[in-house]
Homo-oligomer: A and B are copies of this chain.
């Protein structure tokens, strides 16, 4: 205010802009400070290979072991009617198309860093280990293979969008701050067996994909 000869609200608005750009943060009563660039976690996407899955632990847990932070996952499993989008991807017909839903919240040292919601056709997953909170070694993909669905490939669609208010409070970022939204579809031949919607705190993550040149 002194330096530029402007009103308090004007400074406040300026700082609010910097906040939405992720450049400053503040704590009431303390002050405002230049934001620290959070450590970026690189998530290699070749972790979906069968060899890696056979190693046992899920991707999140091996990341934790490597990164030296304390992982913590809470799971909620339920059944519900599939909405249009999910029904479309999983190619479910009929008006009572039901899906098994696994909603997970992943925390690193107590902070929520990732939300993931998986959908499976109830015809495949109902009554199996997939409906258990703990799905055991290799996770749901191994369980799908045991059920006779030989996974052939995954498709991941990535986009960046502003965090919705619920997501923002969950992930501990300002509302509207960028998140990575990833939709993964697991395929067994030409049959889609899982849709996984993931939301990751934007610049705290980096997804790394390796693509063959030929």
Contact = CB atoms under 8 A, between A and B. Distances in A.
A155 B213 contact: no
Contacts of A214: 49-51, 151
Interface string A153-167: 111111111111000
A205 B159 contact: yes
Contact of A202 (B161, B175, B207): B161
A203 interface: yes
B157 A206 contact: yes
Given A157-B206, A158-B206, A202-B160, A21 B211 contact: no
A19 B5 CA distance: 28
A48 B178 contact: no
Interface size class on chain A is 35 or more
A210 B154 contact: yes
Contacts of A207: 157-159
Contacts of A195: none
Given A21-B175, A160-B202, A178-B179, 8 more contacts: A17-B175, A51-B214, A151-B213, A155-B210, A155-B211, A158-B209, A160-B178, A161-B203
Shortest Cβ-Cβ A-B pairs, 8 listed: A178-B178, A160-B160, A160-B202, A20-B176, A151-B213, A160-B178, A161-B203, A21-B176
Interface of A: 9, 17, 20-22, 40, 42, 45-46, 48-51, 151-164, 175-180, 186-187, 202-203, 205-214
